[in-house]
Amino acid sequence: MINPAAGTSGGQHCSDFLPTNRQEMLARGWDELDILFVSGDAYIDHPAFGVPLLARFMAHYGYRVGILAQPDWRQPQAFSVMGRPRLFAAVSAGAMDSMVNHYTAARKLRRNDAYTPGGKAGARPNRAVIAYTAALKGVFKGVPVVVGGIEASLRRLAHFDYWTEQVRRSVLVDAKADLLIYGMAENTLLELARRCCAGESPAQIMNLPGTAVVCPDIPPGALELPSYEAVSNDPEAFGRAFRLAAEEGNPYSGRAVAQRHGNRWVLVNPPSLPLSQTELDGIYALPFSRKPHPGYRESIPAFEQIRFSVTSHRGCCGGCAFCAIASHQGKIIQSRSQASIVSEVTDMARDKGFRGTITDVGGPTANMYGMSCGNIKARKSCRRDGCLFPQPCRHLVIEDQAAASLLEKVRRLPGVKHVFVASGIRLDLLERQPAYFQQLLKHHVGGLLKVAPETLSDKVARIMRKPGAALFNRFLKQFRAYSRALDKRQSVVPYLIAGHPGCTLGDMVDTALFLKENGMRVEQVQEFTPTPGTLATCMYHTGVDPYSDTPVAVARSARERRLQKALLLSHLPENRDDVLQALQICGREDVAAQLLGAPPANMPKKAGPPRRSRRRPPKRPSRGK
């Protein structure tokens, strides 16, 4: 937690921040909060972090808010330092799901936490939403608790939990919270506060967009999903529930969905409407100090990473199977005005620590800035969960000049020497954005351009809902031609996923050969982690694509996942034995010399296919519920 005795640090005063303790409340003349925000992250007063952004937003509308950052969930008094809130407590696990934050894809405990001072692990509990809600309910009897953030959003319905290999109930039921807000919560939270001021209880508000609530009966007009009991025992029912809920994700026309949990129902209302550009600009104009709270004595890695970055837009219309962004931020692109972004960078350049480099201008996908649906009628009735797969929607307006113009304006600002784009780039859009592509390579690549094709197998790409190898080949040729024309020595670093549903060792061999033939090496390989709420996790659990009922191969054993990863990192000497073993399993020993650089002197004994592990993962040390 924040050191309450600290007053200043680096010229920043506690008065520049929202209250984090009783002393800071009293300094503002407050004896009571309206809303108490509880977060699993350290308090960094920067718009890149959800809880500080929402707290600033609510303070702008006159609500007295305080932030309790990383309270010790084992100590009840840690939750009472600012007293009982008048309206409700708002709980978030932080910018990351707490289980993903704590464990690797191999379910091994991580040793660091980028959102904690000093990068130290252990500052938040497992399943933080549940643990924080329980602590608040214990300290403040009867206080309404509203849960939100990425952890709550993706667990709003019954969901598969990778860490226990079981289907769990809605987090709203397990946490015994009064209301769940999913997605980007500004207007939903504001309306909730207004209705609470009018005397309504969060647990009784059944019709607020962007929320989920427990109710005794299914409301008229709501779409009934297979029950928790059904999806727990029947993979087919699980897939059907996932598909039905996803089809109602349009904020303009989606219906409420309801899922029975025992003798109660979890009602999920349609998503809240996207923000207008004026609304989004207003949020980023709020008086953020853009610093960690001065009570911290150690640096916070996540802050150092985003300190001089700019969020240009929200939402992603890619619809990738493994990604949860659309389920949380939505697929509708919400872009800030160029004037708003220029104003933020101008203020940033006045910071004493600024050295002239903007580390990123982007969003979930950098080159989606300015994009929109060109047909309002079609947008309001659309049931697609993405706009690019299998082909870009004919109504999608793929903007080029706006993004290119934005980068040009930012790099010409006084005090700005370098502007980089570190956010993801969608390659199937980039080939339709020649102006952005050329600007990117000429001015915004620091020698290495990191792109995320995720796979180079066409079969796996279709399952991932990503473009295939042919498009990546075209991109490489263009990239190299542009770089030669600019007389720049630049390279591409591809990010790839191992162990994704549908991916086999044979697919990874083909991918490894592609990399070798094109003179490329990957720096890191992401091992697929099934996280709640994604299509890929549904396929991992059920072994079936819920939209086509087609069986999907799933790499469940640690051995197979390790071998897939080794193939992508075949250039590392320590992976040699694993690569040879993978090639023998596939019957592809003939390419060993091509991958490893020289014919192996002695091939290991013929290996059989990886066994499917049916054992449950071992229990990990508990750090809360």
Binding site members for [4Fe-4S] cluster: 316, 320, 323
Q: What is the DSSP string of 146-162?
A: EEEHHHHHTTSS-EEET
342 phi, psi to nearest 5 deg = -60, -40
**Interatomic CA distance for residues 437 and 260, integer angstroms:** 49
* 145: amino acid identity, one letter: V
Count of all residues that appear for the chain in the document: 625
Residue 358, number of CB atoms within 10 A of its CB: 24
Q: What is the DSSP string of 407-472?
A: HHHHHTSTT--EE---SB--HHHHTT-HHHHHHHHHHS--SEEEEEEE---HHHHHHHT---HHHH
Listed residue (7, 28, 140) closest to 86, CA to CA: 140
**Helix (H/G/I), strand (E/B), else coil: 314:** strand
Close Cβ partners of 383 (under 8 Å, ≥ 6 residues apart): 247, 250
DSSP H or E run through 575: none
**Interatomic CA distance for residues 625 and 622, integer angstroms:** 7
Q: Is the peptide bond before 546 cis (omega within 30 degrees of 0)?
A: no
Is 239 buried (19+), middle (13-18) or exposed (0-12) by CB count in 10 A?
Answer: buried
**Interatomic CA distance for residues 467 and 585, integer angstroms:** 28
Angle ∠(363,193,25) on CA atoms, nearest 5? 90
**Interatomic CA distance for residues 298 and 401, integer angstroms:** 42
Sole residue written with tokens 């990123």: 360
* Numbered residues of the known binding site: 316, 320, 323
Token pair, residue 595, equals 């991958």
Token pair, residue 169, equals 């109930």
Residue 489, number of CB atoms within 10 A of its CB: 8
264-268 vs 309-311, strand pairing mode = unpaired
Sole residue written with tokens 């061999």: 509
Radius of gyration of the chain (CA): 25
Question: Is-contact 226 241, C-beta < 8 A?
Answer: yes
Angle ∠(241,242,246) on CA atoms, nearest 5? 115
**Interatomic CA distance for residues 438 and 359, integer angstroms:** 19
223-225 vs 257-261, strand pairing mode = parallel
Helices (H) and strands (E) in the chain, counts: 24, 24
CA distances (Å), 28 to each of 9, 55, 290, in order?
20, 16, 20
Q: What is the DSSP string of 474-514?
A: HHHHHHHHHHHHTT---EEEEEEEES-TT--HHHHHHHHHH
**Interatomic CA distance for residues 286 and 56, integer angstroms:** 7
Listed residue (261, 249, 255) closest to 222, CA to CA: 255
